[in-house]
Structure 1
Amino acid sequence: MDRQIDYRHLESLIALLTVARLGRYTAAAAVLGVNHSTISRRIDALQKAMGGHLLAHTPNGWELTDLGRRAMASAEAIEQAVAAISTEEDSPTLTGHVRLAAPDAFSAHLAAPALAKLQAKHPQLVFEIVSETTRARQTRTGMDLEIVIGQPSVRKAASTKLMDYELRLYATAEYLQAHGTPHQLSELAGHSLNYYIDTALTVDKLDEATSHLPPMHRAISSTSIAVQYAATMNHAGLGLLPVFLSKHYPNLIPVLHDQFSYLSEYWLVGREEALRSKAVQATVRALNDAAANGDWFILPSGNQVPS
C-alpha cells in the first residue's frame, strides 16, 4: 500500500504533474518559476514519501512509472480543486501554462490569433509558442503540443490531423519579366528557387516537395518562411510557398499552377499526460476550430511580408 501523502507534498505533486506533461525537469522549472534543482528536490522528497520511483528516464524523456501514475492522479485532482476554488460561479476560468511548437507560418497566422482569443476569455492562461519547422520529436520533451507537417510516427503520444497544407510556385511580375515565364515544368531548370535550406531541412514532406521539380538553382534559402516570402517578393526567384498565405498577396503571380502543386497536412501531436490538462484541451479545441473555419490572420497590406 502507498504511504500517505500529506499537505507538505502539494508542491511536489504539482512538480511531478508538470514534469510528466513536459517530460523534462528544466521545462517544468521554467513553467513553475523555480530552478532545476528545486524540481529535483521536490520529486526526490515525493519519491521518498511514497517509497519508490515515480519517474523513469527514457528516450522519450521522463515518463511516469506505475507508482508515478497513481501519484499523478492525486496531482490532477489537486489541480482541478485549485481551479475550482479560483472559478467564479457560472464563469469557468482556465488557468495554466501551455507550450506549443509549430512552423512559423502556422504560429503567426493561425496559432497566435486563435490563442489570443482564448487568452482574452481566460486571462490566467499563459502561452509560449516556439516557432520551428521540424519533424515530430521522438522525445517530445519540453512541449505540451506540437504542430508538424505530414503525418507523424510517434510513440506514447496522440496525433490528429488539423488541416490540409498545399505548396505552389509563385513569382513577381518583375522577376518573370526579367527571366521569362515558364510554361512547362522542364523550363524550371533555368530558374532560381527560394525555399528551405537543404542541409537544415528535417521534415520529409517538405524535402519531398522539390523532388517533383527539375533541379533548380537555389537563390535565397532559409529556415524561415518569412525570409522565403521576402526573397520571392523582392524578385530573387520563384518561391515554393503555402497557398493559404500566397493567395492574399496580389503581387505574387501563380506559376504553373495547372501543372504542379504539392499536398501535405498539418498534424497536432501531444503527450498523453499533457492532453489531460484542461488548459491544453482548450488549446487543442481553439486550434481545431480555427483550422476548420479557416481563421488565418492576414496582414492588411498585400505588399507586407508574412511572419
Structure 2
Amino acid sequence: MSAPHPLTARQPSPDDLLVLLAVARLGKFSAAAEALGVNSTTASRRIAALEKVMGGRVLVRESGDWELTELGRGALVVAEEIERSLQHLATPLQTRRDGVAGLVRIAASDAFAAHVAVPALARLQENYPRLSIELISATRRVRQNRSGVDLEIVVGRPDVHRAVARHLTDYHLGLYASDSYLASHGHPADLTALAEHRLIYYIESSLQIDELDLAAKQLPASPIGLRSTSVFAHVEATAAAAGIGILPVYLADRRPELRRILAVEFDHRISYWTVAREEALRGNTVRAVLDALRAEVRARASELRGGCG
C-alpha cells in the first residue's frame, strides 16, 4: 500500500496552533481562552486535537502552569510564523516598508521596566505608531524555553541556550534609611551594627537571582524586617521608616527623604543583560526595541551606574 500523499495526510490546524501559542505565553488555559475569546473547554479540546495529530504531548503541567514539551516547542515555531503572517496581512503597506510594526513582548525586572524601559518604549511608539508592546515585569531568572517572549532584560549574567545574551549596563545596590528612622534608631557605625536593625529586602525563599542573594549575604543576620517580592515595596517601606533598605541606587536617590548609609562599606554592583532568540534579532522590530533600550541606558549612564566603586 502506498503512503498517504502529503496534502491528504492530516495536518495540524492553524487555530489549534494559535491556542498552543496563547497557552505557552500565558501559562494557563483559562487566561489563554479569555485572550482568544473562547471558553476553556474549547481551548482544551483544541490542544487535545493538536496532540492527536502530532502524536504526543505538547504541554505539561509544572508548578501550576503549563509548559511546552520538546514537541510543543517545535510546534510553537510554526505557531509564531502563523501569527506573524496574520499580523503582516493586517498591517498597512507603508508600515511594512518601515519594518517596525507588530507586537513585541518584553520581560524585565520591576525597576528596569518602570524607570528605563517605559520611557524608552513610549518614545519609540511615537515614531512607530503600529508598534505594540507587552511588558511583563518580574524579578526572576532567565526563561530557558523563552515561550512567548521576544526580549528579556535579566539581572545577572544568564546561562542561556539557543539565544543571544548581551551585557546592557551595571547598577548598584546601597543601604538606605529615612531621616525619621535614623532619628529614632540611630545611625549604624559599621556593617556589624546592622545586626541591631531591621533590614528590608526580598523574601529569601522566593529570591531566584544569585546576584541579589549575594548582596544580602554580605550583611550580618538582623531582626526579621519587612520582606517583599517587589522592589517598589522595599523603597516605600524604607521611606515609611520600617527599617534599613537594600535598594537600587538609581531608585533610592530619587527620594529626598532617604539617606544612603555606610556607602563605602556596602556598594554591591549588579548587571543587567538582554536575552533574545537569534531569529527575533534578525527582525527590524525587535532590533529597534533593543536599540531604544540601549540608547536610554547610555543617556542615563551616570544615574544607573551611580555608586562608590
The answer to whether the superposition gives a TM-score over 0.5 is yes
The reply on whether 1:179 has 2:185 as its aligned counterpart is yes
Preserved CA contact (<8 Å) 2:16 2:46: no
With a CA cutoff of 8 Å and minimum separation of 6, indicate the structure with the bigger relative contact order.
1
Question: Are the structure 2 counterparts of residues 222 and 89 from structure 1 closer, same or farther at C-alpha, using a change threshold of 3 Å?
Answer: closer
Determine the structure 2 residue equivalent to 1:253: 259
- Superposed CA offset, 1:69-128 (max 9, x none): 997998699579648x72438982632111111111111111111111111222222211
Preserved CA contact (<8 Å) 2:19 2:46: no
The reply on whether 1:61 has 2:61 as its aligned counterpart is no
Question: Are the structure 2 counterparts of residues 293 and 243 from structure 1 closer, same or farther at C-alpha, using a change threshold of 3 Å?
Answer: same
The reply on whether 1:205 has 2:216 as its aligned counterpart is no
Equivalent of 1:130 in 115, 119, 136: 136
Q: How far, CA to CA, are the matches of 2:106 and 2:37 in structure 1?
A: 18
Cα offset, 1:23, TM superposition: 10
Q: How far, CA to CA, are the matches of 1:111 and 1:133 in structure 2?
A: 14
Determine the structure 2 residue equivalent to 1:170: 176
Preserved CA contact (<8 Å) 1:23 1:141: no
What number of residue pairs does the alignment pair up? 291
Unaligned runs of 5+ residues in structure 2 are 305-309
3-state secondary structure, aligned to 1:88? helix
Q: How far, CA to CA, are the matches of 2:37 and 2:117 in structure 1?
A: 24
Task: Give the structure-1-normalised TM-score.
Answer: 0.74
The reply on whether 1:292 has 2:295 as its aligned counterpart is no
Determine the structure 1 residue equivalent to 2:124: 118
Equivalent of 2:202 in 173, 179, 196: 196
Determine the structure 2 residue equivalent to 1:230: 236
Question: RMSD of the alignment, in Å?
Answer: 4.2
Cα offset, 1:195, TM superposition: 0.7
Preserved CA contact (<8 Å) 2:104 2:133: yes
Question: Are the structure 2 counterparts of residues 226 and 217 from structure 1 closer, same or farther at C-alpha, using a change threshold of 3 Å?
Answer: same
Q: How far, CA to CA, are the matches of 2:271 and 2:135 in structure 1?
A: 20
Question: Are the structure 2 counterparts of residues 32 and 233 from structure 1 closer, same or farther at C-alpha, using a change threshold of 3 Å?
Answer: same
Q: How far, CA to CA, are the matches of 1:25 and 1:173 in structure 2?
A: 45
Opposite residue 231 of structure 2, the aligned amino acid is I
Preserved CA contact (<8 Å) 1:28 1:39: no
- Superposed CA offset, 1:214-249 (max 9, x none): 111232111111111111001111111001122222
**Worse overlay, 193-202 or 280-289:** 280-289
Identity of aligned residues (%): 37
Q: How far, CA to CA, are the matches of 1:219 and 1:25 in structure 2?
A: 34
3-state secondary structure, aligned to 2:270? strand
Q: How far, CA to CA, are the matches of 2:94 and 2:303 in structure 1?
A: 32
Preserved CA contact (<8 Å) 2:194 2:222: yes
Preserved CA contact (<8 Å) 2:250 2:303: no
The reply on whether 1:217 has 2:223 as its aligned counterpart is yes
Equivalent of 1:96 in 78, 102, 108: 102
Opposite residue 180 of structure 1, the aligned amino acid is G
Preserved CA contact (<8 Å) 1:101 1:132: yes
Preserved CA contact (<8 Å) 2:162 2:277: yes
Equivalent of 1:147 in 144, 147, 153: 153
Cα offset, 1:293, TM superposition: 1.7
Cα offset, 1:64, TM superposition: 8.2
Question: Are the structure 2 counterparts of residues 25 and 142 from structure 1 closer, same or farther at C-alpha, using a change threshold of 3 Å?
Answer: farther
3-state secondary structure, aligned to 2:123? helix
Unaligned runs of 5+ residues in structure 1 are 299-307
Cα offset, 1:31, TM superposition: 7.6
Q: How far, CA to CA, are the matches of 1:107 and 1:177 in structure 2?
A: 34
- Superposed CA offset, 1:197-226 (max 9, x none): 111111111111111111112321111111
Determine the structure 2 residue equivalent to 1:302: none
Q: How far, CA to CA, are the matches of 1:296 and 1:35 in structure 2?
A: 50
Cα offset, 1:176, TM superposition: 1.0
Q: How far, CA to CA, are the matches of 1:231 and 1:211 in structure 2?
A: 21
